[in-house]
Amino acid sequence: MEFKDSIVVVTGGTRGIGRAVSLAFAREGATVFAAYLSNDGAARTVTEEAEGLPGSITPLKTDVSTSEGATRLINAAAAASGHIDVLVNNAGIIRDCYLAMMSEDDWDAVIRSNINPLFHCCKWGLRKMMGRRSGSIVNISSISGVIGTQGQSNYAASKGAAISFTKSLAREAGPMGIRVNAVVAGIIATEMTASLKQDVVEQIVRKSSLGRIGTPEEVAAAVLFLASERASYITGQSIIVDGGTV
């Protein structure tokens, strides 16, 4: 019950890593607002899964890659208490293709969907944290942004940007008592990674120390730690959860 009565916002919060993060906070007593873009079925499912937990999950359909969508999410979460305690930026997509054959649409879509939500949600989320001079932001990145992955130049660029963004924002937000960190995920068993080519997945797994794919719950555990008071002196850091791949 570490997050009892806390207001938590999770973008991309109804599937994959985001779903696991939303449920993890709800188990700890948090009031979770889980943003999603289109999959109503997944939103209903995660809401049902949260029934009976100490906290709750409220799904909100909105496009956080736009200022309007992000503002709607943040305002809805802060409506009752006027503040937000935790913001987890997890929304993102992949459109893999070798660069020489990549379309401008695929490049633009990934950059827009993976980077813009960081800007919009953090901008408005910070404003709800600044008054209390406290809060925690956790950005979900990927090892593709650290070591690079073939066929993912657009995705790797966006996830590398998330790490740099985290470091810069941590310097800005620190004097206001707000911590900003990132969780850098390896190959995790989600719908998104299921679309990767099998040989690419096997190549990455072979390079890992543990020799297996990770679970969304293992990433969620790192997010919970960084958002908690146990990490009160940690900011501007990127914790890699990848079974020893990097």
Spatial distance between the Cα atoms of 62 and 70, rounded to a whole number of angstroms = 7
| Averaged pLDDT score across all residues of the chain | 94
Confidence of residue 45 (pLDDT cuts 50, 70, 90): very high
Quote helix, strand, coil % in the chain, to nearest 5.
50, 15, 35
Q: Is 155 one of the catalytic residues?
A: yes
Q: Which amino acid is at 120?
A: H
- Local structure of residue 81 (DSSP, 8 states): T
Q: What is the pLDDT of residues 202-217, one digit of tens each?
A: 888 888 899 999 999 9
- Each residue of 130-163: pLDDT tens digit? 999 999 999 999 999 999 988 899 999 999 999 9
pLDDT of residue 198: 80
CA 220 to centroid of chain Cα atoms:
9
Q: What is the spatial order of strands in the sheet that 135-142 belongs to? A: 56-61, 31-36, 7-11, 86-89, 135-142, 178-185, 238-241
- Residue in 33, 31, 30, 34 with CA at minimum distance from that of residue 12: 34
Q: Number of helices (H) and strands (E) in the chain: give both, helices first.
A: 9, 7
Question: pLDDT (tens digit, 9 = 90+) per residue, 170-213?
Answer: 999 999 999 999 999 998 988 877 777 787 778 888 888 999 99
CA angle in degrees (0–180, nearest 5) for 80-86-91 = 105
**Are residues 106 and 57 in contact, defined by beta-carbon separation less than 8 angstroms?**
no
Catalytic residue (one of 36, 98, 155, 233): 155
pLDDT tens, position by position, 100-118: 999 999 999 999 999 999 9
**What value does the mean pLDDT take over residues 51-61?**
96
Percent of the chain with pLDDT over 90: 86
**Residue 122: which pLDDT band, with cuts at 50, 70 and 90?**
very high
Say whether 39 sits in a helix, a strand or coil. coil
**Residue ranges of E strands in the chain:** 7-11, 31-36, 56-61, 86-89, 135-142, 178-185, 238-241
End-to-end CA distance of the chain: 33
- pTM > 0.85: yes or no: yes
pLDDT for 202 equals 83
Q: What is the pLDDT at residue 160?
A: 97
